[in-house]
Amino acid sequence: MYKIGVIGDYDSICAFGALGLDIYPCDSADDAETQLKKLADGNYGIIYITEQYIEKMPGLFEKYMERQTPAIIPIPSCKGSTGFGIGNVKKYVEQAVGSDIIFNDNN
Amino acid sequence: MAQLNVNPTRMELTRLKKSLATAIRGHKLLKDKRDELMRQFLDIVRENKALRENVEKRLSEANQYMAVAGSVMQREALASALLMPKQGVTLKIGTKNIMSVDIPTFEVKTKTDSKTDIYSYGFVNTSGDLDNAISIFSDILPDMLKLAEHEKSAQLLASEIEKTRRRVNALEYVMIPNYQDTIRYITMKLDEAERSNTTRLLKIKDMMIAENIEAK
């Protein structure tokens, strides 16, 4: 059985605790990085992490991208979205297709 | 013209012809794989985009409520309200196979079925905004799971497509032309040897006839 973890600053993620997800409040990106490593090697299938933190560790994010689990999903924090998450989706399209054909449609 | 470094022999020619046939077959198969992966990927990534936009919108909505709740209530009260969750979530991971890429599927199991169990606090000491925020969070949880599934699939498929595309291109633009050129080179070399052999025989025949005439 796997678990779902949430990493971020307390204000952004405290409500997820009420839903039964495991929350790991972190005060800094360094903190979040050690926490993420710990969870990723542990029994976690999905790790939601606020964009503000995951942005600062692109190497780690890419390392876990190749693995089947855990799925590391950036979520916006309470300060709003930085565009990192949606930018990633764009990156996948570029990687697969060669140029971005999904986001250009709508503009 | 690039050709492989091989001896122009008949045996080598047969071997190369066999390799070329395999390469062409592999190229066709990989091309089909790439096309199908691409089709699946585009479906998934479109949905991924829609889900992400929706989740981000709803999350910011919920965070607004949380901000209000946080300002109305004391920080400690808010923290203690959320301290002991009644609900628990476990995750079951299955795998789905798309063109030999293993894609995880997530299935979530909650500890209790009751919908009200997400409210882990009494309503007396807490702000109504907190209820709103929590209810939105619980509404988007299924979408967030789907988002996780789609995003992981998109990641895995994208890297697989990249790899497959590289293989297809290597076969199409390097391996197959190389084989074809080498086969042409060997065929020409063999034909040439054949011709020189024939002329030599003709020449020898002429010389022998001339010798015979002289001897008479």
Q: Are B78 and B68 in contact (CB under 8 A)?
A: no
Closest Cα in chain A, distance from residue B155 (Å)? 6
Tell me, yes or no, if the pTM score tops 0.95.
no
A82 touches chain B (CB under 8 A): no
Buried b (16+ CB within 10 A) or exposed e, B67-77: ebbbeebeeeb
**Helices A84-97 and B10-72, packing angle to 10 deg:** 170
Looking at the partner chain, which of A15, A46, A69 has a beta carbon nearest the beta carbon of B66? A15
Structure tokens at B191: 């034909």
**Which of A13, A48, A89 should one mutate to test binding to chain B, selecting the residue with the greatest count of B CBs within 10 A?**
A89
> Chain B residue with minimal CA distance to A78?
B63
Looking at the partner chain, which of A71, A80, A81 has a beta carbon nearest the beta carbon of B152? A71
At A18, give phi and psi (nearest 5°): -65, -25
Q: Do B159 and A15 touch (CB under 8 A)?
A: no
Residue type, B114: S
pLDDT of B22-71, one tens digit each? Answer: 999 999 999 999 999 999 999 999 999 899 889 888 888 888 888 888 78
Give the pLDDT score at A107: 46
| Alpha carbon distance A75, A81 (integer Å) | 8
Task: Dump the DSSP string for B60-84.
Answer: HHHHHHHHHHHHHS-HHHHHHHTTS
Task: Map residue A74 onto helix, strand or coil.
Answer: strand
In angstroms, the first-to-last Cα distance of chain A is 42
**Which of A73, A92, A104 should one mutate to test binding to chain B, selecting the residue with the greatest count of B CBs within 10 A?**
A92
Residues of chain A found within 8 Å of residue B74, distances taken between Cβ atoms? none
Residues of chain A found within 8 Å of residue B92, distances taken between Cβ atoms? 1-2
Q: Do A18 and B118 touch (CB under 8 A)?
A: yes
Digit-by-digit pLDDT tens for chain A (107 residues) are 888 888 988 888 887 877 778 888 888 888 888 888 888 888 888 899 888 888 888 888 888 888 887 888 888 887 877 888 888 888 888 888 888 777 765 54
Domains of chain A: residue spans and CATH: 3-80 (3.40.50.10580)
Interface pTM, i.e. ipTM:
0.86
Closest Cα in chain A, distance from residue B172 (Å)? 18
Which CATH number applies to B10-206: 1.10.1200.10, 3.40.50.1980, 1.10.10.10, 1.10.287.3240?
1.10.287.3240
Closest Cα in chain B, distance from residue A54 (Å)? 15
**Which residues is B145 bridged to in the sheet?**
none
**Which residues is A8 bridged to in the sheet?**
A25
Q: How confident is the model at residue B136 (pLDDT cuts 50, 70, 90)?
A: confident
A42 touches chain B (CB under 8 A): no
Q: Are A52 and A77 in contact (CB under 8 A)?
A: yes
DSSP symbol at A78: T
Q: Do A3 and B89 touch (CB under 8 A)?
A: yes
Q: How far is CA B155 from CA A92, B116, B144, in A?
A: 6, 35, 16
| Alpha carbon distance B134, B66 (integer Å) | 8
pLDDT of B65-111, one tens digit each? Answer: 888 887 877 777 777 777 777 777 788 888 888 888 888 888 888 77
Contacts of A11 (CB under 8 A, 6+ apart): A77, A78, B66, B67, B70
